[in-house]
Amino acid sequence: MVEKNITIANPSGLHTRPAKRIVDVARAFASEITFIKEGRDGSAKNLLKLMKLGITLGNTITVRCEGEDESAALESISAALASLSE
Amino acid sequence: MAQKTVSALILSPGAAAGPVFRDSNASASCGENVLANRKDIPEAERDAERELLFDALDRAAADLLRLAERVRSELGSVLGTDKAEIFKGHADILQDDDFRNDMARLVADGYSAQCAALAVAESNALDMEALDDEYFRERSSDFRELGRKVADCASAIRFGSSGASGSAACLCGPVPPVPSIVVAEELSPARTVQYHVPNVLGFIVSKGGANSHAAILSRSLGIPAAVVPIGDLALFQSGAMAAINADPDTATAEPDEEAVSRARSAALAASLRKERLAKLRDFPAATSCGHRIGLFANVGGMKDLPAAAAEKADGIGLFRTEFLFMEETSFPDEQKQAAFYRQALETLRGKPVIFRLLDIGGDKPLPYDPQPPEANPFLGVRGIRYLLARPELLASQIRALLLASAASGQTVRIMVPMVCLPSEMKAVREIAAAEERRTGGHAAIGMMVETPAVAMSVRAYSGLSEFISIGTNDLTQYSLAVDREHDRLAGIYDEFHPGVLSLMAKACADARHSGMETGVCGEFASRPEAAVLLAAMGFDELSMRASAIASVKEAIRSCTMREAGALLERALAESEAEGARTLARAFLAERGLGG
């Protein structure tokens, strides 16, 4: 298992469009990918769960990846979060 | 009935007039949602009901994916291809196992497919509304819309409208036969894009916020949209005339001829102007003789960055860092700050970004760092004075900026607020030099020119400041000894005061002489008639809210430096602000601009 804390820096947070982008990236990996915000967690492969975490600008979340391709998954998810600009 | 005007919240700016076309929402187009309230489906029929539910979910999802594809291929150039993601995301939710299983569970308990769809959608909408963020709260209407869509599809399947025509009935309501103002209680994102036809002049609705998907889409489509109080929606009767007015923000039911023609000419003027300004977006801000001026954007929070990029700003001339500190309960740590700074640097892709150090004063203290009261906070501990009294905080912000610089491989420009003494710049430079060695980042350090004394002594900062930026708001307040917001002294505060203009010109000339880059980041720079004068003074860049860039660019491109120089000379010779302003406005009017 690998994990990393990431601060959300895109203005509108992970609502529909940005979250959908993250979900698409997450689904390319075999690993379980979990976002944890203030003790609540949700799979990054599930748009509904991700949106319900209500992740917004300035939130620090933990991204946890577990599985055969966990390192690559963590790296891709981190990059995808950093590239959100909207 | 006589003309009636009601106040409106404008979701998408603009003016329009035309006959009302009532949109009674998608559900009506499929007939009533029969069975929408039934919770007593006999057990023997529940398996079939579940099949119906899943069919409806699949059909609604397929419709949304088709819509996403259409938005991407047909409207991508207008809306930006990313808008299709909204509909793909909605399709995703309809295919979500939890979402489907929650509905299936209700069906197993005897709910009709429609009733289950509406109930689960409502419960998700309520979850969204409970979140502490405006963006998320406004997603709640999307869920309700999804529920209605699934319910509509279930009705369509149940009552036998089959195949493609059935799907079409689920998604596409009637479109206006003649150019009309569409009036509806609420617009769904899907309805908004379907309305991208020449026959839609504007939207009047009674629900919706500025961040709703429908609002975002109507702004992208350039269709005016107004929210009126729910009780007033009934004023807008099908077939009667209606108008949306831009200034002031109102909507008018049954407008008289004069009101109609006013709205129409405002719409025409706005569309011509918008077309003109949009064309300018890809051109540089250069005078007609080829002198280039950088037009930068002011950024007060991360939400302003996309607009800066969209308007093709040449850089960020003022990144206010206060918002990072205001919304916290204690000083944000370096890593957190650095993430924001880095995002700004990367959004601008190598263009310069000028970060102003935390600019706090006694008039607006941080909630977690109270300051002793001062008799006159504007003449007290503010800007760099505040920071120098908190060396740890100052060093940590500079370190965060340099970490962002190191991580992105770009130079950060650090601007020091409210500088009055060279010693203040020396102190900041010493800290920055130490932090550069620690972090491997690189900074250019400059200062705000906000007081008359500094404007007159810029040369004293040679070697201490690599750039200057005039804060015209404070410079004007301090020069004229008047509070900008003073309710009984309106008219004294005026940047066109020849004395204030002279201070700006002097500071610019001296800074250039000392090899500093020169900029302006106050309100003044966002006015086209002022921008021409500032260009003539020799400023390298003008920074303003992103939405002002296009009209300032238009002014800059309309004249030569020689013409602007002659205007400046005449303006400086005026004895009063009014005279200088009139000259500058006439200058633009002669070139067919302003009004």
Q: What is the pLDDT of residues B275-333, one digit of tens each?
A: 888 888 889 999 999 999 999 999 988 878 888 988 999 999 999 998 888 877 889 99
Indicate the range of B202-216, B442-456, B558-572 predicted with least confidence. B202-216
Q: Is B152 exposed, middle or buried (0-12, 13-18, 19+ CB in 10 A)?
A: buried
Please give the residue of chain B at the shortest CA–CA distance from A22: B89
Same domain, B180 and B119: no
Q: Which sequence spans correspond to the domains of chain A?
A: 2-83
- Give one DSSP letter per residue of B78-101, joined into a string: HH-GGGHHHHHHHHHHHT-HHHHH
Same domain, B66 and B181: no
Please give the residue of chain A at the shortest CA–CA distance from B142: A16
What are the residue numbers of the active site of A?
15
Same domain, B584 and B573: yes
- Nearest CA to B153 out of B175, B172, B139, B140 is that of B172
Distance from CA of B311 to the nearest CA of A (A): 14
Q: What is the mean pLDDT of residues B437-461?
A: 97
Same domain, B422 and B512: yes
Residue B97 CA to residue A54 CA, distance in Å, equals: 20
Q: Is B521 a catalytic residue?
A: yes
Nearest neighbour of A46 by CB, restricted to B88, B96, B128: B96
Residue B156 CA to residue B31 CA, distance in Å, equals: 9
Q: Residue B7: which residues within 8 A CB-CB, separation 6 or more?
A: B228, B229, B248, B249, B250
CB atoms within 10 A of CB B42: 8
pLDDT band at residue B31 using 50, 70 and 90 as cut-offs = very low
Does the pTM surpass 0.90? The reply is no
Q: What is the pLDDT of residue B164?
A: 38
Q: What is the pLDDT of residue B223?
A: 86
Q: What is the pLDDT of residue B53?
A: 94
Residue B243 inside a domain? The answer is yes
More confident call, B508 vs B81? B508
Residue B204 pairs in a beta bridge with B183, B226
More confident call, B133 vs B494? B494
Any idea which residue has 């120089």 for tokens? Answer: B565
- Nearest CA to A4 out of A39, A38, A36, A27 is that of A36
Q: What is the pLDDT of residue B163?
A: 41
Residue ending a domain, among B171, B197, B221, is B171
Residue B421 inside a domain? The answer is yes
Total domains in the fold of chain B: 3
DSSP designation for B523: G
Q: What is the pLDDT of residue B362?
A: 65
Q: What is the pLDDT of residue B594?
A: 65
Is the pLDDT at B403 greater than 80? The verdict is yes
In the predicted model, what is the mean pLDDT of chain B? Answer: 87
Q: Is B172 a catalytic residue?
A: no
Same domain, B150 and B247: no
Same domain, B459 and B527: yes
Q: What is the pLDDT of residue B243?
A: 94
More confident call, B199 vs A2? A2
Q: What is the pLDDT of residue B216?
A: 79
Q: What is the pLDDT of residue B28?
A: 38
Backbone φ and ψ of B156, nearest 5°: -60, -40
Residue ending a domain, among B171, B191, B224, is B171
Q: What percent of chain B clears pLDDT 90, i.e. is strictly above it?
A: 51
A37-73 pLDDT per residue, tens: 988 999 999 988 899 898 988 889 999 999 999 999 9
Q: What is the pLDDT of residue B366?
A: 84
Residue B595 inside a domain? The answer is no
Q: What is the pLDDT of residue B27?
A: 40
- Nearest CA to B387 out of B376, B398, B377 is that of B398
Residue A40 pairs in a beta bridge with A37
B330-343 pLDDT per residue, tens: 899 999 999 999 99
pLDDT band at residue B32 using 50, 70 and 90 as cut-offs = very low
Looking at this protein, which amino acid is placed at residue B480? L
Q: What is the mean pLDDT of residues B459-463?
A: 97
Residue ending a domain, among B171, B204, B229, is B171
CB atoms within 10 A of CB A79: 10
Q: What is the pLDDT of residue B141?
A: 87
Residue B388 inside a domain? The answer is yes
CATH code, A2-83: 3.30.1340.10
Residue B274 inside a domain? The answer is no
Distance from CA of B133 to the nearest CA of A (A): 7
Q: Which of B88, B123, B323 is the best substitution to test chain A (most A C-beta atoms within 10 A)?
A: B88
Indicate the range of B24-38, B211-225, B563-577 predicted with least confidence. B24-38
Cα–chain center distance at B171: 30
* SS3 at position B73: helix
Same domain, B305 and B249: no
**B120 inside 8 A of chain A by CB:** no
Residue B557 CA to residue B292 CA, distance in Å, equals: 9
- CB–CB contact A15 B136 (8 Å): yes
pLDDT band at residue B541 using 50, 70 and 90 as cut-offs = very high
**Pairing, β B294-299 against β B316-320:** parallel
B434: left (phi over 0), alpha (psi -120 to 50) or beta: alpha
Is the pLDDT at B33 greater than 80? The verdict is no
Q: What is the pLDDT of residue B81?
A: 67
Same domain, B324 and B414: yes
**B98 inside 8 A of chain A by CB:** yes
Range of the domain at B191: 4-25+174-254
Same domain, B320 and B224: no
CATH of the domain at B241: 3.50.30.10
Same domain, B217 and B365: no
Residues of B in contact with A47 (CB under 8 A): 89, 92-93, 96
Q: What is the pLDDT of residue B509?
A: 98
Same domain, B187 and B150: no
Residues of A in contact with B128 (CB under 8 A): 51-52
Same domain, B437 and B305: yes
